[in-house]
C-alpha cells in the first residue's frame, strides 16, 4: 500500500524514514516534502492547507491507503475530518480533538476541570483587564497567545515591562493575528522539562520513550527560543517511578478528559512536562501531534511497525499492538541557518562528506537543486545517531557534523548534556 505524509519538515522526514521500514508500505508520497524527503518519497508540490487539492490528489492516486498528517495547522483546521468525510483513511486527531493544542485556554481549562496538574493561570480577552492583572503578578511570568503561532506564541517575561510589552504585542498589535485575541497568563515554573509523546486511539493510550528538547538558540540555554535546536532520548530524569506516576495522574487522565468532553483523541498527544526540584510534575503544554525535533530521536528507537500502529489507532485497536522500544540512546543536533530564529539567508549549498553509516540526516529546511542540497529554512538538517549510551551518540553526532558545512551554519555544542 502507498502512504501519503502531509508536511515538509524534520518530523515528516523521520515519519517517512520510519514508515519506509515497514514491509507493508510500497511507495511514499510527501506533500510538500523537502530535499531530503525527496530521496525516499515522491514530493508533491501542494501546500498543507490546500485541502481541496489534497483531496483531488488522493482521488487521483488510489494506491494511497493511508494519509499521515504531521503539522499542527492542518490538524487544527480539520484536514483529518475532511479526508475521513471523503472516504480516505487518515492518521491524526479531528479538529475537535486537536483543540487541545490549538487553544491554550481550552487546554488549561481542561486540566483545571479534570484535576490534571498544571501551572496557575488566568485567561483574558480584554486588553485592559490583562494589563491590570500582569501589574499585580510576580516574575518571571508566562504570557501565551491562545491559538497557534508557529511555536512563537509563548513569551517568558522577566519583569513588568516585558509582560506589558508581550500583552500589547499579542493583543493590540496582533503579532500573532487572531491567535492572540485571547491570551493565557500563567505562573512560571522552574524545573526540568521532559517531553512524552503518546499513541492514543481514544480507548488506549501508550506513551513512547521519553525525550527532551533544547529550545534556546545558544549553548547553555541562552538566546531566543527556537523551534528546537536538538533533542535526546531517553530523558535522564524520567525513571520508571516517574513514568508510572505520570501515566496515572496525567496521561490516562487526559485521554479520559477528552472523551468526557466529546473530543475523542486519535493520534499522538504530546505532553510537555516540567519536573520541579521537589519532584512535582505538571503539564506545561499539550500538542496534538508528533513533536519536532523529539520525533527525530524517538522514532529511531521504535522497534514496532509504525504503519501497524497508525492503522490500529484509526481502527481503535491499539490495545492489540505490543509496542516495543530499543533501550539505546538517540541524540539529534539541529544545523541551522546563521541568524535563525530571526532573519536568515536561504539557498546556500550544503556540503556533506562521507558520514558514518549509522548516522541519519533528517532534513528540516532543504531543497534539492540538481545533485546538491541547498538551505531552504531556519532549521536545515537534524543529525541523529543511536548507540548504546547517550554519550556515545553525542560523540558520534558531533564527529559527523564536522563533515557537514554550509555558509553561516550554526549548531549547539551541548545537546544531550542537560541534567548532568
Binding site for ligand GLY (CB under 6 A): 151, 213, 228, 287, 291-292, 294
Provide the minimum distance between the beta carbon of 219 and ligand GLY in the complex, in angstroms, as a whole number: 18
Q: Using CB atoms, what's the residue nearest to ligand GLY?
A: 291
| Distance from C-alpha of 36 to C-alpha of 115, rounded to nearest angstrom | 43
| Distance from C-alpha of 256 to C-alpha of 267, rounded to nearest angstrom | 15
Provide the minimum distance between the beta carbon of 58 and ligand GLY in the complex, in angstroms, as a whole number: 26
**146 or 294: CB nearest ligand GLY:** 294
**207 or 291: CB nearest ligand GLY:** 291
3-state helix, strand and coil shares in percent for the chain, rounded to the nearest 5: 30, 30, 40
- Name the H helices within 125-211: 127-134, 160-171
| Distance from C-alpha of 20 to C-alpha of 289, rounded to nearest angstrom | 20
Provide the minimum distance between the beta carbon of 209 and ligand GLY in the complex, in angstroms, as a whole number: 15
Provide the minimum distance between the beta carbon of 347 and ligand GLY in the complex, in angstroms, as a whole number: 26
**215 or 374: CB nearest ligand GLY:** 215
Provide the minimum distance between the beta carbon of 63 and ligand GLY in the complex, in angstroms, as a whole number: 31
**202 or 228: CB nearest ligand GLY:** 228
Residues 6+ positions from 180 with CB-CB distance below 8 Å = 145, 146, 147, 149, 153, 169, 170, 171, 174
**18 or 204: CB nearest ligand GLY:** 18
**152 or 264: CB nearest ligand GLY:** 152
Provide the minimum distance between the beta carbon of 294 and ligand GLY in the complex, in angstroms, as a whole number: 5
Element (H, E) at 200: strand 192-200
Tell me the β-bridge partners of 141. Answer: 157, 187
Q: Count other Cβ atoms within 10 Å, centred on residue 92.
A: 28
Tell me the β-bridge partners of 211. Answer: 195
**213 or 261: CB nearest ligand GLY:** 213
Provide the minimum distance between the beta carbon of 71 and ligand GLY in the complex, in angstroms, as a whole number: 10
The distance in angstroms from the start CA to the end CA of the chain is 45
**134 or 298: CB nearest ligand GLY:** 298
Instruction: Please spell the DSSP secondary structure of 364-393, one letter per residue.
Output: SSEEEETTEEEE-SSEEEEEEEEESSHHHH
Provide the minimum distance between the beta carbon of 113 and ligand GLY in the complex, in angstroms, as a whole number: 24
CB 163, CB 137: distance < 8 Å? yes
Q: How far, CA to CA in Å, does 126 sit from each of 99, 167, 382?
A: 22, 10, 41
Amino acid at each position: 500500500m502507498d502512504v501519503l505524509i502531509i508536511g515538509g519538515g524534520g518530523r515528516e522526514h523521520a515519519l517517512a524514514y520510519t514508515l519506509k521500514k515497514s514491509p507493508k508500505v510500497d511507495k511514499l508520497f510527501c506533500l510538500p516534502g523537502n530535499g531530503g524527503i525527496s530521496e525516499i518519497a515522491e514530493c508533491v508540490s501542494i501546500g498543507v492547507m490546500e485541502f481541496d487539492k489534497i483531496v483531488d490528489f488522493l482521488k487521483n492516486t488510489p494506491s494511497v491507503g493511508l494519509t499521515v498528517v504531521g503539522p499542527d495547522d492542518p490538524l487544527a483546521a480539520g484536514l483529518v475530518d475532511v479526508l475521513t468525510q471523503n472516504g480516505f483513511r487518515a492518521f491524526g486527531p479531528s479538529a475537535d480533538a486537536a483543540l487541545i493544542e490549538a487553544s491554550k485556554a481550552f487546554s488549561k481549562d481542561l486540566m483545571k476541570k479534570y484535576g490534571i496538574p498544571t501551572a496557575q493561570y488566568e485567561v483574558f480577552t480584554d486588553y485592559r483587564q490583562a494589563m491590570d492583572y500582569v501589574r499585580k503578578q510576580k516574575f518571571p511570568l508566562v504570557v501565551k497567545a491562545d491559538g497557534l503561532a508557529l511555536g512563537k506564541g509563548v513569551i517568558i517575561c522577566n519583569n513588568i515591562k516585558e509582560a506589558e510589552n508581550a500583552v500589547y504585542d499579542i493583543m493590540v498589535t496582533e503579532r500573532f493575528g487572531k491567535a492572540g485575541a485571547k491570551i493565557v497568563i500563567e505562573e512560571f515554573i522552574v524545573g526540568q522539562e521532559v517531553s512524552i509523546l503518546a499513541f492514543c486511539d481514544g480507548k488506549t493510550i501508550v506513551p513512547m520513550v521519553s525525550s527532551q528538547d533544547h529550545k534556546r538558540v545558544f549553548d547553555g540555554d541562552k538566546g531566543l527560543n527556537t523551534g528546537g535546536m536538538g533533542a535526546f532520548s531517553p530523558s535522564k530524569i524520567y525513571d520508571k517511578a516517574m513514568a508510572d506516576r505520570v501515566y496515572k495522574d496525567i496521561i490516562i487522565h487526559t485521554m479520559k478528559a477528552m472523551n468526557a468532553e466529546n473530543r475523542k483523541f486519535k493520534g499522538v498527544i504530546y505532553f510537555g512536562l516540567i519536573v520541579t526540584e521537589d519532584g512535582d510534575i505538571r503539564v506545561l503544554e499539550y500538542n496534538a501531534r508528533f513533536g519536532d525535533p523529539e520525533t527525530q530521536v524517538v522514532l529511531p528507537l521504535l522497534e514496532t511497525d509504525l504503519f501497524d500502529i497508525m492503522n490500529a489507532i484509526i481502527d481503535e485497536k491499539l490495545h492489540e499492538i505490543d509496542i516495543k522500544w530499543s533501550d539505546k540512546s538517540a541524540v539529534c543536533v539541529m544545523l541551522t541557518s546563521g541568524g535563525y530564529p530571526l532573519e536568515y539567508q536561504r539557498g546556500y549549498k550544503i556540503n556533506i562528506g562521507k558520514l558514518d553509516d549509522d548516522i541519519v540526516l533528517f532534513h528540516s529546511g532543504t531543497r534539492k537543486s540538481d545533485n546538491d542540497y541547498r538551505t531552504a529554512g531556519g532549521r536545515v538538517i537534524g543529525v541523529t545517531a543511536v548507540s548504546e549510551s547517550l554519550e556515545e551518540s553525542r560523540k558520534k553526532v558531533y564527529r559527523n557534523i564536522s563533515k557537514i558545512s554550509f555558509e553561516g551554519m550554526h549548531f549547539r555544542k551541548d545537546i544531550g548534556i542537560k541534567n548532568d
